[in-house]
Amino acid sequence: MEILSYTSAKTAIFITLILIGYAIYIEFRSKKMIALFLISILGASIFVLMTHVTTPEAAMTIAQKNQILQQQHTFIDWYTNYKKDIDLLDSNWQQYDKILQSFKNDDISIQTVYLRLTQLQEQSLALKNKFIQQKPPESLEDTNYTLTAKIIEKTSNYITMQTDVITKSKAAVDPANLKTKSHDEQVQILERIMTIGAPAPLTIADEVAVLKENLTLPDEK
């Protein structure tokens, strides 16, 4: 605000000097007055140039750089482990899709589907429980902590929906509770469960982009 006021004052002085010079010129219209008018413009220009103040950005202190580097290290460690869990998440869904495709092609029996979905359900529940209990690293600062928490929340919701689909599919092919013996109808039931319950793609790109921006030193941008 002080810089803005100072700049405005210089501009006002500059305009005033020009107006005074112009007024003198209009009043007298002599060669001397023309010269005086031109000199007043030149003087006003020099005044503005000589009093121009630039405000350089404040240099980042060593402490601030170290803080960002520490935040970088903390997030990278967490994100490395997070990506390993995401790989497991993707693997579970690929296994689920493979089981359904194998059954649709009549390569495996309904009993085999049930056994494989039972095992897959256990894997998915273990991953779900891990994420439900997970929290961002305590050493992350407010904004970075909040963004990381958002990533965990989105991932937890995704895993929950994925696990629900697997659980419902397993229940649908339970040999003790089969509603039909028709292979085609059983395939349709499983496909309907998958179509209705499949989670939307996990999108965390926005949060990760902001975190990377926050954790990048100015001279690295």
How do residues 147-191 score in pLDDT, each as one tens digit?
Answer: 999 999 999 999 999 999 999 999 999 998 899 999 999 999 999
Give the pLDDT band of residue 13 (cuts 50, 70, 90): low
> pLDDT of 62-114, one tens digit each?
888 888 899 999 999 999 999 999 999 999 999 999 999 999 999 999 999 99
pLDDT given for residue 6 in this prediction: 46
Average pLDDT over residues 141-148: 95
Average pLDDT over residues 124-131: 94
Phi/psi zone of residue 167: left (φ > 0), alpha (ψ -120 to 50 degrees), beta? alpha
pLDDT given for residue 1 in this prediction: 45
Q: Are the CB atoms for 136 and 185 separated by under 8 Å? A: no
Of the two residues 216 and 21, the one the predictor is more confident about is 216
Measured from the Cβ of residue 37, the count of other Cβ atoms closer than 10 Å reads 20
Q: What is the DSSP string of 73-87?
A: HHHHHHHHHHHHHHH
Mean of the per-residue pLDDT values for the chain?
A: 84
Sign of the torsion angle spanned by Cα atoms 84, 90, 96, 98 = negative
Which position has the token pair 């629900």?
A: 164
pLDDT given for residue 66 in this prediction: 86
Query: Taking 90 as the threshold, does the pLDDT of residue 44 lie above it?
Result: no
Nearest CA among 91, 81, 87, 92 for reference residue 164: 92
